[in-house]
Structure 1
Amino acid sequence: MNAIISLCHFCELHGPKVLFCTQPFHPEEKEVGDNEGETDISGHRRVISPSAALEPQTPQTPTCGANSLPSYKNDLCEGCTSVHLGFVSHDDDAGVSYMSSQRPQHRDVFAMIRQSCIRSLSCEVCPDQEGPIFFGDDQQGNTISYTFFIKDNQARGFQRLYSIIVVMMDKIYLLNSWPFLVPNIEVVVKHLKSKAKAVFEKEQVKFPQRPSASVNPRTFIQQRGGNKPVRSLSELTDDKNVFKILHMSFVWILKACGNRLSEALLEGAPTEDSIIDMERQEVTEEDFVMLYSKKLTVEEEVEEAVDAVRYATLNQPTQTEPVDDGSPAFKDIRHILSLLGPSLFHVLAHHVVVGNQIIIRADGRTLMRTFLEALTCLLPRGCFKAVAYSDVYVESYKCNFLGLDPRISIPPHVNKDEKYLLVDVHRKPDFAFDGSTDPFAGYDFKFSSSVTFQPNSVPTVLTKMEFAIRNTNLCEEVLDQALVCYKEEWMNKVKVLFKFTKAGGGRSDEDMRSLMKIVGAVDVDRPLLTYWMKGLSDQYKKHILTTSKQAQVS
């Protein structure tokens, strides 16, 4: 916990004073003087206590360096002094050291603690005089202060005012720690008060005085018999090890509070792609059960087995990296754009996002595989079903991305009934190598399709994706996140459409147009929205359908 916990008291001679403080130090923090402008609440790691160089009878603070403290030679008394050397505890597991001393060594940190000390013992008053209170700001730090009284037979009113303060810059963290800090500080306070009360009662018996009601300011000093005007906490509690106990208590509070609350990066709800990935995970410990898998009939099992042997799919996990056959490889979606040009790339991307089958024929398997892999960023994970290489045509309902042997022709029924885009990649026969370093030098891309798109039929999300891909100011990482955001935005629209059509009963065209307007879609987006329903996870589909049936029954 990056905070400082301190014991303060109100001296009859000098006013509010910091008596004892404990703070953590981390290995990576710098020495004093390495950065004079640094005002971290933890200061530095290796530090000498301000009272380490003090003489026992003349407490003072040495002044050395810009961040050292001013002299307190004439501003301290026995009641304002706690320890001369201090205490250090090391947490080897966490790599943190805790040091307790009279006051923080760093000038700016001490100023912050001093300000909190003054406020806790003067203007920041707890309603019950004793108890916790919160105050602070972003400049001077935030403070939880617990004020309390210690019995003293020689003090005005027979008690002295103390406070334990926890100072931290992080307001939210400190307030969230209130339920932990206040009860544990209260335990320390009760321990000090009980020991001081026992000493007070002994002194009352040993040195009887008049009832407090008859004591007035004129006779008070006389009744004390010329005793010391202030006494240290060790004397008030009759415990020479009281500051050792405080050190251990404060160290435990800081460490335990830090372990209680830890910062975590919140990533929000999982995306549909991440849910799809979880659904495709295999459970290999018990009977090799596939999570969220569907039960297959005997015929389906045979067909799946044949397909598994025949096709090397991108969707199936592989234990080894794909073998490189030496053919050129596509790096990413921008590489495809640079090779095809804006016009052909637009046609390709349009076919991809609306679910038409993409067939690539080329001599190199690496070329076909990397081409299909680069297109995955345009679709939700659940919509991508690929066969990286096949020596026979595979129907579109089995895969929407197909790498086909260049000697294989497209069946007649596909030309007639199916929507597809065929990409033939071959090297120009008359190409003369000119020493270019481009591996695709001399390659030609030819498109043929059974579908012709109208210029005004471009889906809205595709326009946004193409703009981001063409924007060279976006690095690869930013582009990837932008495409993820676009896909997730439109998958949310798909969820609404799925619930509206599949689980909502019969809907009219007018209802559909109203819904499209509400979700921010237009008519040209319908093919994309309909196809992207395949990208919804089985969990979501089952949840919506089950909820709908339960609502209809009730």
Structure 2
Amino acid sequence: MNAVIALCNFCQAHGPCPIFCTLTLRSKLDDLHLDQQINNKLCAACNSLGQSNALYSKDTESGATFLSTQTAALPEVATLVKYAAIQSLSSEINCNKDGGFVFFGDSTQGHVLSHTFHVSDLQARGFYQLFSIIILMKDKYFLLNTKPFLAEHLRRISSEIQASAHKIKEDEEAKDSPRQRRLSGAQLLVQTPRSLVELTGEDNIYAILHSHFSWVLLAGSRFLTEHVTFGNLPWLPPQSSGQPPKQRLTYNITTLPMIQKFEETLDDPEQEEFYSLRHIKQVVRNDLFTTVCYCALTGVKIIVRGSPERTFNFMLCLRKLLPDKMHNLMRIDAQHQHSISSDYKIISVSNEIPVPIACSSVLRIDYLDKSMDGFEVSVKWPGELPSKWPDLMVKLIKAVNETRFTELVLNKQTKVLIEEWKNKIICLNRAKSTTGQTKLKKVLGIQPQDQPLINYWSAHLA
């Protein structure tokens, strides 16, 4: 993964700065100049390995090498990291003391995912020091697409640091509480800023961080795979560079004008009519929205019955629940009975065509001539939702219910989530053994409740 991970600290004496940087090494170690000019202003809180020391490791399987230094080993990268560190600890801060995430940056300074968190320090102002872990990358969309994976592991790293610091805090309070001294008015000795080693009581804290950061970089490049959408990596099979056909929805002459209008808007995103997943929620009952989403995501056949003028926008919204390569599983306004019994998973038909009754493998959505209880459709599916929903479904429903998301933002978020899971399943398909798949599932955060979705998508994603 072409990224830099850095631990940053807001020193109460010298301000915000990066104190530990890890990057993927693409040149020989001998070609780097680690003996940079020493900054005499460095105190314990601003210092980690020292200006002329480094931690170096290599993954024997992939050949990837990782280098951790106090300041990024490449001067042009060091400048970007320093700028990002200042922002992550000053203007771009999530106020959640347990650790928040902020995304910022641009194409010039790089795009940054910042995770700020507090570390207990009884000798500091407010009894804590402010740290952040930043991931700097040039590829904005890959960073956003992998944010769930990165956020999960950055939070684990920060929690580990906080837990160690909390133990040191409890030990110090048990001996002689600086808080009680301050409240009693007793004069305190002037304390110098403390290092992360002192705060956590772990002498090898930077070796541990090097291991964590290197693994995140390795996992990001090997398992989350930029190559799925942007290129190839040497240890994975090559991907086809061909684009999917522009027209992925089948149609007949009655729906041709609507299809043509839809395709014209694709060429000009600013003119697109943003029918988001909320349109589905508006058409069906709130409690049935989750049922429709689950069936679409896991391959239960959905039959939408009604005139094309009423069902077309609903079908376009169902389309958003599947990746591009699976759009050919949809059929708009089918005119023949045999289309229903074919491999199409989402079908809209006119009222004249007989359709099967609802069952565990068929969900029926009938547009009514007259509204019933305020709703214009009847949804029938005798199946039951599982107690735990697939992770993608949970995130999609959360996005739909986020009132601050406009239709445009919701559509963008939907595309990102669908793309993320498409990439995960493509990676699983590349695994050559059951053991490899098991390891990948653990790395990618795939749980047992995701298996119905995986079974369906895997069969159609090469």
Please report the TM-score for the alignment, with normalisation by the length of structure 1: 0.42
Pair member with larger Rg = 1
Say which structure, 1 or 2, has more relative contact order (CA 8 Å, 6+ apart): 2
